[in-house]
Amino acid sequence: MVKDVDDKRECFFHYIPHSNEDEKLGMVCTTAGNILVPPNTVYPPNKNAHPVPFREVAEGRTLPEFQFVYISDGEGVFYAESRTYTVKAGSILLLLPGMKHSYKPRYETGWHEYWVGFTGSFFNSLMDEGILSRERIFFEIGLRDYVLSIFMQIFEEVRSQQPLYQVKACSQVYLLLAELLISERRKKHPEYSEQQQIVEKVKFYMEENIYKKINITNIAQEAGLNASRLNDVFKAYTSMTPYQYYIQIKINKACRLLEQMDISVKEAAFKLGFDDQYYFSRLFRQKTGIPPSRWKGFIYQ
């Protein structure tokens, strides 16, 4: 299905202007495009049309920015960080600033590549936190219509350059990153579908018992797991432990309760199963940044 879509797409590349206002958001798109390289074609095509930093794709280069490169058809190789990766349809390459790399399709097969370049303090912070990492620069997510649609949306924003197009394009880059992280988790957990069902059942149980106290060990036993294993499974899917998730949905419910004029902070705390009003207030402030009394004041000021 993806290949049929690819064959109808016009190849293009675009270097994207951005303003000082765009940079204040901490994320800007710098380039986007796609190239269809037919079999038995020298790569990169139209090499001299690219500015110097982007010329030596096949021989080796470094970039001052991040790039995602998605291969939707064909095969090739990717060299980076003293490693060689076999690229096939469904591969995504993550190019990092200052990282020496090269890539090219097999002469016999060619390929179709889509790319988007991006930079900014937000993405730099993701590197600092290890979310974007030199240890994870090659992903095999398969042929995904949704991933292709993300690139198409970026291209549309770049072409139209309507107001705030930089913000919209960067939001699509963020969606692409989210897809890669989700794909990684699924790969690490082959039994993901079964685990997802367990997590959804536990979340449903928590929502049903939002006004009560729950026992994580008992919930784990009901799911056929021990508490430690449930923690691992739940965290893999939600990035939180079951207890952290339960507290979060209780605080979310508390926010809605406090919007009611006739509910006091103490009543909201006890209604949600907190025996200690002050412990509830501390948790509320940790999660929302303000104490529950001020939250209620904001609603009715």
Q: What pLDDT digit, counting tens, does each position of 204-259 carry? A: 788 878 888 889 998 898 888 899 999 999 988 888 999 999 999 999 989 888 88
**188, 213, 231 — which closes off a domain?**
188
**Mean pLDDT of the region 265-271:** 91
Compute the mean pLDDT over every residue in the chain, rounded to the nearest whole number.
85
Cis peptide before 39 (omega within 30 of 0): no
35 and 169 housed in the same domain:
yes
- Residue 71's CATH number: 2.60.120.280
Dihedral sign computed on CA atoms, order 148, 152, 158, 162: negative
Per-residue model confidence as pLDDT tens digits over 55-88: 567 678 889 999 999 999 899 999 998 899 999 9
Residues above pLDDT 70, as percent of the chain: 88
In this structure, the answer to whether residues 39 and 137 fall within a common structural domain is yes
Do 58 and 98 fall within a single domain?
Answer: yes
Q: Are 46 and 100 in the same domain? A: yes
**Phi/psi at 277 (nearest 5 deg)?**
-60, -35
Residue 127 has pLDDT above 70, yes or no: yes
CA atoms lying within 13 Å on the CB side of residue 3: 6
In this structure, the dihedral spanned by the alpha carbons of residues 19, 20, 26 and 29, taken in order and rounded to 10 degrees, is 20
Q: How far apart are CA 270 and CA 70, in angstroms?
A: 52
Please give the residue range of the domain that contains residue 274. 192-300
Whether pLDDT at 173 is above 90: yes
Choice among 118-122, 147-151, 206-210, 212-216 with the minimum mean pLDDT: 206-210
Nearest to 113 by CA among 12, 42, 14: 12
| Whether residues 68 and 163 fall in one domain | yes
Task: Give the pLDDT confidence score for residue 9 in this predicted structure.
Answer: 46
Q: Which of 153, 188, 223 is the last residue of a domain?
A: 188
Q: Which two tokens stand for residue 27?
A: 């994320």
**What is the spatial distance between Cα 158 and Cα 145, in angstroms, rounded to a whole number?**
20
pLDDT band at 298; cut points 50, 70, 90: low
CATH code (residue 225): 1.10.10.60
- The tens digit of pLDDT for each residue in 5-27 reads 334 445 778 888 888 887 888 89
Q: Same structural domain for residues 178 and 295? A: no
State the total domains in the chain.
2
pTM of the shown model: 0.63
pLDDT for res 46: 63
Residue 196's pLDDT is 77
Same domain, 208 and 183: no
Mean pLDDT of 118-123: 94
* The length of the chain, given as a count of residues: 301
The reply to whether 269 and 244 lie within a common domain is: yes
Looking at the structure, tell me whether residues 129 and 177 fall in a common domain. yes
Please compute the mean of the pLDDT values over residues 138-144 and round it to a whole number. 88
Which residue, chain included where needed, has tokens 């729950």?
214
- Sign of dihedral through CA atoms 91, 97, 100, 103? positive
Residues 246 and 155 in one domain: no
Percentage of the residues of the chain whose pLDDT score is greater than 90? 46
Same domain, 180 and 221: no
- With cut-offs at 50, 70 and 90, classify the pLDDT of residue 190: low
| Residues 202, 181 share a domain | no
Helices (H), 105-261: 121-128, 145-160, 165-188, 192-208, 216-222, 227-238, 242-258
Residue where one domain finishes, among candidates 188, 210, 233: 188
d(CA 26, CA 249): 30
